[in-house]
Structure formats: C-alpha cells, structure tokens
Amino acid sequence: MDSHLPHTPKTDHRRRARLILFCLLLGSTTADAGTLGEAIDSALDLEGQRARVGALRDEGEATRRQAESLVASDPGLRVKHLSDQATANNGAYEWEAMVELPLWMPGQRTARQAVAAALGEQAETLTGLLRWEMAGRVREAVWNARLTQGRADQAAQALANARALATTVDKRLAAGDLARVDALVAHQAVLDREAEHQSARMEADEALARYRHLTGQTTLPDDSDEAVPPDLSDQLPPDHPLMREADSAVGVARRQRDQARSERTGHPVLSLGTTVTRDARGADQNTALQLELSIPFGLASQSAPSIAAAERVYTEQASERQSLLRQAEAELIAAHLGRRGAAESLAIAERRQEAAREAFALVRRAFELGEADLTTLLRAEDSAREANVALELRRLEQGRARARLNQALGVIPQ
C-alpha cells in the first residue's frame, strides 16, 4: 500500500490526489456554508466535540441530585442472627434487622451543591472554548485556501500573458522581425508558466480539500474577511473563552477542595430496626425497636490524603490558568505585531508593483519598437509577475491578520 512507500514526490502527489478526490466526493453530498459561524458549527458536529459538554453537564446534574438526597451516601441493610442450636439447643434465638442511613454533617450538602453548580458553569464555558478553538482551525483553513487560490489566480494570469506574448512573437517571426530562437524562448516561457499554474492549482485544490475535510462544506464562507472590533485593546478581554474556561476549571477544583474538607469527619450513620428474641423453646417471643447512631471520630490522619489530593488538583488548575494567561497574552501581542507587519508589507508591495509595472510597460513598448530584445522583455515580465503575486498575497494577508487578531481577542463568529 502507499502508506508503506518512501516519501517521494510521486507518493506525495498520490496522497494529495486521494485527499482532493475524497473531499470532492464529500462536497457532492454536503451543503454550502453561508457564514463562518455555520462552518464552525459543521466542523464541531463532524468531530463530535460537543459530547464533552453533555458529559460534563451530566456529571453536574448527577452531583446535584446526590446533594439533594436525604442520605449522604448509599443506605444499607444489616441483618444479625444468634442461636443456641449448636450449644445448649434450648431453642433460644435472636434476630436483628437494621437499616443504616448515612446522614449529612453541617456544610456537607452545601459543599456538594456548590460542586454541582461549578460543574454546570464549566459545561457552559467549555461550549465557548470548543467553539473558539474550532474557530481558530477553521479560520486558518479558510485563509490558507484563499491564499493558495490567490497564487493560482496570479499564475493563471501570468500564463495568459505568456501565451499572448508567444502569439505576438510568432506573428513577428512570420513577418521576419524576430529569429526562430526568440519564438523558442517565448514558448519555453509558456511551458514554465503552465508548470507554475499547475502546481499552484494543485496547492489551491489541496487547501480547499482540507477545508472541506475539516468542515464538511463545499465552499468557503462568504464572511471570512472579518472586521476588527472598534474598541481594540492590547489587553485580553475579560470574557475571553480560554480564560473563562480556565477560571471555571479553577472554580470546580476549589469547590471540590471545599467538599473534601467538609467531609473530613465522614458521615454519621443512623440505624433503625427491630430485634426479635426468645429465651427458650416454648417461651414468648419478644420484639423491640432498636435505634443506633454511629459518629465517626474524623481523625486528621485518615482524611489527610483526600484533602491533600484535592489541594494538589486546585494548585495545578491555578498554575495552569496562569500559564494559559501568559500564553494568550503572548498570542495577542504576536497578532498585533502580525497585523502591523502585514500593513507595512502591503505598502512596500504596492510600491514595488507600481515600479515593476511601469518598467515592464516601458520594456514592452521598446520591444514592440524593436529597441529591446526578448530576453530583456521576459526579465521585466518576470519581475512584474512576481510583484503582482506579492501584492495579491499581501492584500490577502491583511484579512488573515485580522482573523488571527480576532482569534487572539477571543472573538467567535456567530
């Protein structure tokens, strides 16, 4: 199989072709994405990430129901039987049946209810986090597809220009104005542009196929060119999905630590039941109601491991939150710098493209007048083509920079 072949250009092309074919088939059975938010929803559905939210909600609901129970833990039935059959055999016996009911100590029920509420809040913040994370992946896939499509469009334009030039050279060759070698050079340039266009088209198809594989949608969303919020700040917003989820995780760990502390003394056990006794064969049977209360001592040495474990989890979550905060701040700084750099690169690319365009126009005019040779014209054409490609990519990178900045700010498309 191809999976066992060495990494060669041939096998890379096979893998690309399989990916593109798969996603083209996928695209024939799925609906188009009208918005970026719809593409994110579709990607979340394909990956099944929302099941994590449901599982967390179920855990919170189960904890809430447990806290609302009349007993602190699972009740039990205790049965005891005594008889002198194996000794004196006088017919004496005793039956005892007790129902054991673990009771809540003050503060224990409240602690578990707080854990349930914290789990419910974490489920809500996890919903936002999963959507934000998927938004980042979809944004990158969208802009990778748009950038590669921009390269392919520029390559197609360069191919059209090369063919037009070859046609002009052929006419001048027929008129005796140019040599046969000039025609060969012009047609070689056409072949070079065809190879570049084929490679660019393949990259664009692969990028679109990856987007389709991620989202299940056939076309790019209409609103992928995002706007940056007007109240732009260098600080993370307080409702950033990453930090909200981190805060809720710390909150759950804190509540679970409080629960471990509240249950360090265990649960008292109330036992209710009856005792049936008979002193000898033929004697009357006596029935009595029995009530017992068992209160644990709550030794610190016995509860210390569970409390220490809960404290460790809380400390780890607090440390993780600080680490995520630093990471998010660094990504926001990088996004601001990336947007500024993209704007500066665009200004340079515009000046370069203008200069290359004017130079190419002059050389082309000189070539038409017979004052410049074909080699000079092709060099000027290459310079103009590279400048055009660079300008188009710099323009597209403005949109990607805005998308990355929105991602760093925690903006989630709806």
Sheet of strand 285-294, all strands in order from the earlier edge strand to the far edge: 76-83, 93-102, 269-278, 285-294
Neighbours of 7 (CB within 10 A): 8
**Contact of 63 with 119, CB cutoff 8 Å:** yes
DSSP-derived secondary structure letter, 32: P
- What is the distance, to the nearest Å, from the Cα of residue 152 to the centroid of all Cα atoms in its chain? 29
- Distance CA(207)–CA(90), nearest Å, equals 92
DSSP state of 4: G
Nearest Cα to 99, choosing from 286, 294, 225, 272? 272
Which residues 6+ apart lie within 8 Å of 386 measured at CB? 356
**Chain segment 60-106, per-residue pLDDT in tens:** 999 999 999 999 999 999 999 999 888 888 889 999 999 999 999 99
Q: Is the pLDDT of residue 25 over 60?
A: no
Confidence of residue 178 (pLDDT cuts 50, 70, 90): confident
DSSP per residue over 99-159, as a string?
A: EEEE-PPTTHHHHHHHHHHHHHHHHHHHHHHHHHHHHHHHHHHHHHHHHHHHHHHHHHHHH
At residue 56, the pLDDT reads 94
What average pLDDT score do residues 189-212 get? Answer: 94
- What amino acid occupies position 301? S
Per DSSP, the residues of 191-236 read HHHHHHHHHHHHHHHHHHHHHHHHH--SS--TT-SPPPPSS--SSP
Question: Tens digit of pLDDT for each residue in 365-382?
Answer: 998 888 888 888 888 988
Q: Find residue 235's DSSP bridge partners.
A: none
Secondary structure class of 98 (helix, strand, coil): strand
Helix (H, G, I), strand (E, B) or coil at 288: strand
Give me the residue label for tokens 């939150």.
321
Q: For residue 325, which phi and psi values (nearest 5 degrees)?
A: -60, -45
Per-residue pLDDT tens for 287-322? 999 999 999 988 888 889 999 999 999 999 999 999
Ordered by where they begin, the domains of the chain are 36-409 (1.20.1600.10)
- Structure-token match 């005796």, residue found: 176
Please give the structure tokens belonging to residue 407: 């991602």
Residue given tokens 């994110």 in the structure block: 40
Single-letter residue type at 116: A
pLDDT digits (tens, 9 = 90+) for 354-368: 999 999 999 989 988
